[in-house]
């Protein structure tokens, strides 16, 4: 996530803090100051930092269970509205998603129970005190906050945890994309509710509502796209008629092919070996910087991923965009047999969407081409 700073790693997962989180800390410190000067200001900051420590534990709860099911957790980022765990290849079996989603709120419930055990029971907060004034009252405030975190996250506003639980339960009886569409629709209705309630009470709720609305829409779209790609293999959509480049070729050679052959992405071969890829963005950047005389060997990406014709596109779908590689060489037993680009997949999706919609008698709506990464949304 842009504008975030690294805070360390847990189980290999980078923990990051969004810069806007510092604004929240400053705001809280100032609020504390207006209550009772420096003393109150420090306790207010201590409360927020320990609360967000609980949010990180919540995200790590999701992450640990997801990793046990083979997911790759890219990062956990702290935002002023809560934490976000970015995951790739999250397990989609309904019971796995159920366990991953429920793990976060369970962590908060466990923290609350542990703190209550230490404090010898539940202590209601004094309504007069805005911020804690001792370690004991800080612990009591955290008990309350963790109970609220667990309960709030279980509201079925997809893609919040409760919404994911709902989707996974629906997916036991319905196709995955149908279950997602229903959960996302309910998520968006609840998101509008959050915004309306937030406008009257708490601006953070407005931000969370907008975030959920957009996230629900984007995840629903990703799932629909992936369902269109089910049973489609790389070999079905790859380009088989293409020109290769040599490292000594120049960007001018790319341009010739762009104009005369409409080929915009290339692989580079040297003595029969695949040594690099050049996507449209690469030669466009080179044109900006050094002109058409720049050699292909200087601009090609030397680290790239190749795919095989039998790879299912649904498995590649997110990597295609997130790796920003633009073009993927397709090899069969070490031999180059095709090229796969994000445009090829977008074109296929557009045709499929039109065919499906015309079957349903509805107007065709071509899909956008940018899938979202999957994440969990949590309140802080």
The residues of the shown chain that bind Zn ion, judged by CB under 5 A, are 104, 153, 161, 376, 378
Q: Which is nearer to Zn ion, 145 or 279 (CB)?
A: 145
Residue whose Cβ sits closest to Zn ion: 104
**Token pair of 114 as six digits:** 């542990």
Integer Cα distance of 147 and 115 in angstroms: 11
Q: Which is nearer to Zn ion, 153 or 294 (CB)?
A: 153
Question: Shortest CA distance to 318 belongs to which of 89, 63, 84?
Answer: 89
Q: Are 345 and 323 in contact (CB under 8 A)?
A: no
Angle 239-221-367 (CA atoms, 0-180°, nearest 5)? 45
Q: How far is CA 293 from the centre of its chain?
A: 39
Smallest distance, Å, CB 267 to Zn ion?
Answer: 42
Helix (H, G, I), strand (E, B) or coil at 19: coil
How many CB atoms are located within 10 Å of the residue 273 CB? 9
Q: Which is nearer to Zn ion, 140 or 161 (CB)?
A: 161
Half-sphere exposure of 154 (CA within 13 A, CB side): 15
Q: Which is nearer to Zn ion, 107 or 245 (CB)?
A: 107
Question: Shortest CA distance to 350 belongs to which of 228, 235, 223, 216?
Answer: 228
Integer Cα distance of 103 and 68 in angstroms: 12
H or E segment at 88? strand 82-88
Length of the chain: 380
Q: Which is nearer to Zn ion, 140 or 378 (CB)?
A: 378
Q: Which is nearer to Zn ion, 104 or 163 (CB)?
A: 104
């Amino acid at each position: 996530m842009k504008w975030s700073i690294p805070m360390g790693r847990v189980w290999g997962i980078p923990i990051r803090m969004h810069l806007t989180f510092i604004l929240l800390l400053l705001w809280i410190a100032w609020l504390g100051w207006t209550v009772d000067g420096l003393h109150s200001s420090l306790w207010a900051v201590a409360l927020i930092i320990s609360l967000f420590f609980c949010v990180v534990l919540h995200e790590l709860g999701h992450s640990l269970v997801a990793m046990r099911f083979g997911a790759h957790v890219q990062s956990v980022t702290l935002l002023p509205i809560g934490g976000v765990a970015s995951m790739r290849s999250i397990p989609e079996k309904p019971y796995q998603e159920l366990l991953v989603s429920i793990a976060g709120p369970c962590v908060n419930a466990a923290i609350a129970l542990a703190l209550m055990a230490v404090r010898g029971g539940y202590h209601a907060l004094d309504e007069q005190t805005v911020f804690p004034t001792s370690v004991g009252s800080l612990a009591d405030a955290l008990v309350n906050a963790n109970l609220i975190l667990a309960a709030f996250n279980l509201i079925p506003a997809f893609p919040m945890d409760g919404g994911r639980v709902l989707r996974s339960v629906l997916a036991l009886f319905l196709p995955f994309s149908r279950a997602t569409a229903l959960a996302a629709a309910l998520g968006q209705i609840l998101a509008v509710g959050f915004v309306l309630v937030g406008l009257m009470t708490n601006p953070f709720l407005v931000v969370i509502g907008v975030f959920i609305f957009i996230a629900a829409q984007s995840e629903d779209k990703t799932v629909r796209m992936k369902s269109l790609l089910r049973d489609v293999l790389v070999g079905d959509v790859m380009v088989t008629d293409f020109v290769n480049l040599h490292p000594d070729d120049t960007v001018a050679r790319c341009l010739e092919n762009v104009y005369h052959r409409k080929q915009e992405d290339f692989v580079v071969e040297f003595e029969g070996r695949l040594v690099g890829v050049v996507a449209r963005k690469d030669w466009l950047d080179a044109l900006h910087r050094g002109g058409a005389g720049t050699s292909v060997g200087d601009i090609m990406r030397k680290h790239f991923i190749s795919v095989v014709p039998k790879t299912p596109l649904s498995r590649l779908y997110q990597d295609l965009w997130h790796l920003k590689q633009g073009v993927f060489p397709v090899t069969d037993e070490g031999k180059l047999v095709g090229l796969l680009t994000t445009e090829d997949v977008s074109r296929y999706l557009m045709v499929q969407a039109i065919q499906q919609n015309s079957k349903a008698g509805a107007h065709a709506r071509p899909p956008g081409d940018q899938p979202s990464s999957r994440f969990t949304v949590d309140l802080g």
